[in-house]
Amino acid sequence: MRVKFRFLFFVAVAILCAGFAAQAQELGPGFTKIKDGIYVFAPDATTTTCSFVVTQEGVVMIDSCNSPLDSRKMFAAIKKVTDKPILFLIDTETHSDHTANHFIFSPPATIINHAGAGEAMKKEFNPKRTETLAAKSPEMRAALEGFRMITPQIEYKDKMTINLGERTFELIYLKNVHSEADTVIWLPKERVLFAGSAANVRTFINLRPSVVISDVLASYKLMKSLNPEVVVSGHGPVSTTKIFDEYEGFYTLLLKRVGDMAAQGKSLTEIKKELKMPEYADWHGQDRLGANIDVAYKSVKK
């Protein structure tokens, strides 16, 4: 009798566990449940990710998703998981593929990013973006309903901590690594790091002229020192700190090659024509190698 009881208990636990796993599946393709109450939406290998974390007090989102269609899926997924309100939406950067869809979540969500984020968003704003997108499909037009640019209501300086219910969110500013205001979000208890776009998953990043590679490399060191178990980058599927090692290898090799060629007296134009990175031939975004060489050249010429 006792054995039977124990068996029934295990069956019940197994059914419960299967139920939890199925729940993430239910949210649709691209949704992953990485820990209890922590979900990531990575539509494919390169598209902007967006995530949400459920706390006892409410929901915290990270980034507002790439297309408004993705944001509507995200909104529906959150409603499926919890009836708690979305309290905060933290941006990991200023670019529109992370920030343009704030209007779908705010209000009630309060948007947060580092000082300078709102200014940068206004400067980068493309007034034609909405019309161009809407022309793509009737679904897209419907998803854009109510569009307006919303800049962060809260801008912090260097560091910020949010204690919400049972969870702690540490916001850390990274300088010169991707956009005008880059924030990573660290959940120390859960050991989950939302790492922004200083490293993505096997993709040449569209490096802006303001990026400084030595600061990028320092940011990898800092993020690795947190010792995260799960790393969610700004684009592509959920990963680990191995993405920092991969990009460290990539930028170190790029700097060496650009440095050697510059030392031989080659011009930037010549370097861009001749330099290849065959070791990274399987990475996405090969057409961005030129932008990477521009930034690397600036740093070796300093």
Contact residues: Zn ion, CB under 5 A: 93, 95, 197
Closest residue to bound Zn ion by CB: 95
CB of 35 to Zn ion, least distance (A): 25
CB of 269 to Zn ion, least distance (A): 26
Distance, in Å, from the CA atom of 268 to the CA atom of 298, rounded to the nearest integer, reads: 9
CB of 10 to Zn ion, least distance (A): 47
Q: Which is nearer to Zn ion, 48 or 55 (CB)?
A: 48
CA distances from 220 to 177, 199, 248, 300 (A): 10, 8, 8, 20
Q: Which is nearer to Zn ion, 87 or 289 (CB)?
A: 289
Is the bond preceding residue 188 a cis peptide, omega within 30 degrees? no
Q: Which is nearer to Zn ion, 37 or 196 (CB)?
A: 196
Q: Which is nearer to Zn ion, 106 or 197 (CB)?
A: 197
Quick check: 268 and 293 in contact, CB under 8 A? yes
CA distances from 30 to 48, 238, 254, 274, 290 (A): 11, 10, 32, 38, 31
CB-based contacts of 223-229 (< 8 A; 24+ apart in sequence) = 223/184, 223/193, 223/195, 223/198, 226/186, 226/188, 226/193, 227/191, 228/186, 228/191, 228/192, 228/193, 229/190, 229/191, 229/192
Q: Which is nearer to Zn ion, 197 or 203 (CB)?
A: 197
CB of 275 to Zn ion, least distance (A): 24
CB of 93 to Zn ion, least distance (A): 5
